[in-house]
Structure 1
């Protein structure tokens, strides 16, 4: 896994600008993003975002990457971890045009899990398997009752 190369930061950011749109369907501008981040108590400018998107500014602070990830609702690992990047790109590619509650919940869960330790991820997977088994058992019981 460690031998996989990450795309340049500019490509990653431009992908997010392309895939994540304003509610009216138009792309976010650099100023839209900077203003929203500043409103959330972050410190970033539209010109800094422009430089990151052009590739003229490299090696941003981790705090800036986190703010950008939060704005675009992707895991912060999207910018640094090839596995998180690939999972997020797959999610972005299959995302329906209109956002719905389920896809928003899935994005939040993906973001939270990607930031956990490996031990915590294993625990979450174990819990998901257990809940899935309970859910299937409930479905089977409903089907048996319907067959009667």
Structure 2
């Protein structure tokens, strides 16, 4: 619970300097959802000091962060949501978004070459390989070469 809640808070407020404290976040959650959760309890959940959470509180958190309640309980759901959060986080960067928009309409073969170039640049910068986003459109160039 603690790691998943922290990931959601980080995704919603990526700039740590602008991230609200737990008391302010709890007020924001209450104003947005109508549900009640205290700042102290939110802090305890986020730091792992408390693990017992009611279904009502899970629903309030899920509603506020716009994730299914199962996110907090099911590893597969959490993994899928976290992949989407990483993509959204990457798309916040204007340069990443511009790169993606400029690539639209290019041939599958050209996209594969660009992906290879990006992978090589990541390797040169000692960055880990990103998890691929599976949108059902993988290996399109191999299919077209058929």
TM-score bucket (shorter structure): 0.5 to 0.7
Normalization by structure 2: what TM-score?
0.55
1:35-65 deviation line (CA, Å, top 9, x unaligned)? 1232232111000001111111112101111
List, as ranges, runs of 4+ consecutive aligned residues in structure 1 with deviation greater than 4 Å: none
Residue 54 of structure 1 pairs with residue 52 of structure 2? no
1:33–1:46 CA contact under 8 A, matched in 2: yes
* In structure 1, distance between residues paired with 2:82 and 2:29: 23
Residue 21 of structure 1 pairs with residue 13 of structure 2? yes
1:2-41 deviation line (CA, Å, top 9, x unaligned)? xxxxxxx111111111111289x82233123211232232
| Corresponding residue for residue 33 of structure 1 | 25
Q: How many residue pairs get matched?
A: 91
Structure 2 runs not aligned, ≥5 long: 94-146
89, 92, 95: which one aligns with 1:97: 92
75, 78, 88: which one aligns with 1:85: 78
Structure 1 runs not aligned, ≥5 long: 1-8, 99-148
Aligned-residue RMSD, C-alpha: 2.5
| Corresponding residue for residue 10 of structure 1 | 2
